[in-house]
C-alpha cells in the first residue's frame, strides 16, 4: 500500500532572499548616513521630470545621487544627468521591477563619496514593484492628473505599501477636469491617513513643499539614529 505523504511545516517567506538583501542594504545605508527614497508609478506619470526637478532642488542641500530602473533604454539617465547629480541606469531587460540585488549590484563600486540622499526610480509599473523591498526609507507613489482619479482603487497594493502619494502634472488639472477631491477620497480609501502632495515639475508648483517634507523626514530619521 502506498504511504500517505508526510506533512512538514516550513514557514519560509518566498521573497526571503530579496528581504535579506534589502535588510543588508538598509543597514549599510544607515551606517553610511544615506537616506534612500524610492519612486513608483505607472509609465508616463511624469516620474522622470519629477525626479529631475527634485534632484536639482535636493542637491542644493544634500549630496544626492540617483539610480534609475528602465526596461531597455538609458533615456532617463541621460535626462536626469542634466540635474548635475551622479545618475546610474539599471537596465532590467525583461524584468518589470527592481529587486534588492539589482540595487546592490548597481551601487557596488559606484556609490559616490559622502552620499547623503539616494533616489531610486523603479520601472514604470504599479503592480510588481509593490512586492519588493529595496532597502529604502521612503516609498513615494506618483499618479498624474491625466491618469484618472480612480488609479488608487485599481492598484490598491502599491498605494498601500507607499508612504506618500504625489499627484503630478497639476498644470494639466483644468484641461483634464481632474477631480482632486475624488482622488484624495480614493487614496484615503485604500490607505487611510496617507499624506498627499500636489506638484507640477513643469511650473514648479508644490516642489518646494515636497522638498520641505523630504527634509523633515530626513532630519527626523537622523535624530532617531
Partner 1 sequence: MHELSIALSIIEVAEEQSELHGNARVAVVHLKLGPLSGVVKQALLSAYDLAREGTALQECQLQIEEIPIIVNCPTCGDKRSVVSIQQMCCSVCATPTAEVISGRELEVTAMEFCQ
Q: What is the DSSP letter of 83?
A: G
CA distances from 1 to 4, 5, 7, 8, 76 (A): 9, 12, 18, 21, 63
Strand pairing report for 87-91 and 64-70? parallel
Minimum Å gap between C-beta 141 and partner 1 is 13
Site string for partner 1, 129-148 (x = CB under 8 A): -xx-----------------
Residue from 174, 181, 193, 223 touching partner 1 (CB under 8 A): that is: 193
Minimum Å gap between C-beta 17 and partner 1 is 7
Minimum Å gap between C-beta 36 and partner 1 is 20
**Cα radius of gyration rounded to whole Å, the chain:** 19
Residue from 34, 80, 190, 199 touching partner 1 (CB under 8 A): that is: 190
By the rule CB under 8 A, 109 interacts with partner 1: no
Minimum Å gap between C-beta 131 and partner 1 is 4
Which residues ranging from 12 to 41 are in contact with partner 1 (CB under 8 A)?
A: 12-17
By the rule CB under 8 A, 3 interacts with partner 1: yes
Residue from 71, 95, 197, 221 touching partner 1 (CB under 8 A): that is: 95
Q: What is the DSSP letter of 109?
A: T
Q: Cβ-count burial of 196 within 10 angstroms (0-12 exposed, 13-18 middle, 19+ buried)?
A: middle
By the rule CB under 8 A, 91 interacts with partner 1: no
By the rule CB under 8 A, 189 interacts with partner 1: yes
CB atoms near residue 52 (< 10 Å): 21
Please identify, using beta-carbon distances, which residue of 182 and 222 lies nearer to partner 1.
Answer: 182
By the rule CB under 8 A, 224 interacts with partner 1: no
Q: Cβ-count burial of 21 within 10 angstroms (0-12 exposed, 13-18 middle, 19+ buried)?
A: buried
Angle between helices 16-32 and 100-107 in degrees, nearest 10? 40
Please identify, using beta-carbon distances, which residue of 5 and 109 lies nearer to partner 1.
Answer: 5
Please identify, using beta-carbon distances, which residue of 158 and 210 lies nearer to partner 1.
Answer: 158
Query: Please, are residues 41 and 126 in contact by the beta-carbon 8 Å criterion?
Result: yes
Query: Please, are residues 118 and 64 in contact by the beta-carbon 8 Å criterion?
Result: yes
Residues of the shown chain interacting with partner 1 in the complex, contacts defined by CB under 8 A? 3-17, 95-97, 127-128, 130-131, 153, 156-158, 160-161, 188-194
Amino acid at each position: 500500500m502506498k504511504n500517505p505523504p508526510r506533512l512538514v511545516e516550513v514557514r519560509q517567506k518566498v521573497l526571503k532572499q530579496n528581504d535579506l538583501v534589502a535588510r543588508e542594504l538598509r543597514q549599510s545605508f544607515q551606517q553610511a548616513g544615506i537616506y534612500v527614497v524610492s519612486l513608483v508609478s505607472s509609465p508616463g506619470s511624469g516620474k522622470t521630470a519629477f525626479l529631475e526637478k527634485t534632484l536639482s532642488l535636493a542637491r542644493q542641500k544634500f549630496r544626492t545621487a540617483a539610480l534609475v530602473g528602465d526596461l531597455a533604454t538609458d533615456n532617463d539617465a541621460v535626462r536626469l544627468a542634466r540635474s548635475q547629480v551622479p545618475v546610474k541606469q539599471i537596465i532590467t531587460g525583461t524584468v518589470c521591477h527592481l529587486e534588492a540585488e539589482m540595487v546592490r549590484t548597481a551601487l557596488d563600486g559606484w556609490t559616490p563619496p559622502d552620499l547623503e540622499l539616494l533616489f531610486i526610480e523603479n520601472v514604470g509599473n504599479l503592480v510588481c514593484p509593490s512586492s519588493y523591498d529595496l532597502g529604502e526609507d521612503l516609498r513615494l507613489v506618483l499618479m498624474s492628473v491625466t491618469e484618472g482619479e480612480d488609479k488608487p482603487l485599481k492598484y490598491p497594493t502599491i498605494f498601500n505599501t507607499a508612504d506618500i502619494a504625489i499627484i503630478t502634472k497639476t498644470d494639466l488639472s483644468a484641461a483634464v477636469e481632474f477631480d482632486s477631491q475624488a482622488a484624495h477620497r480614493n487614496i484615503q480609501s485604500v490607505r487611510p491617513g496617507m499624506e498627499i502632495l500636489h506638484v507640477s515639475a513643469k511650473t514648479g508648483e508644490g516642489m518646494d513643499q515636497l522638498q520641505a517634507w523630504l527634509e523633515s523626514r530626513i532630519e527626523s530619521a537622523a535624530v532617531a539614529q
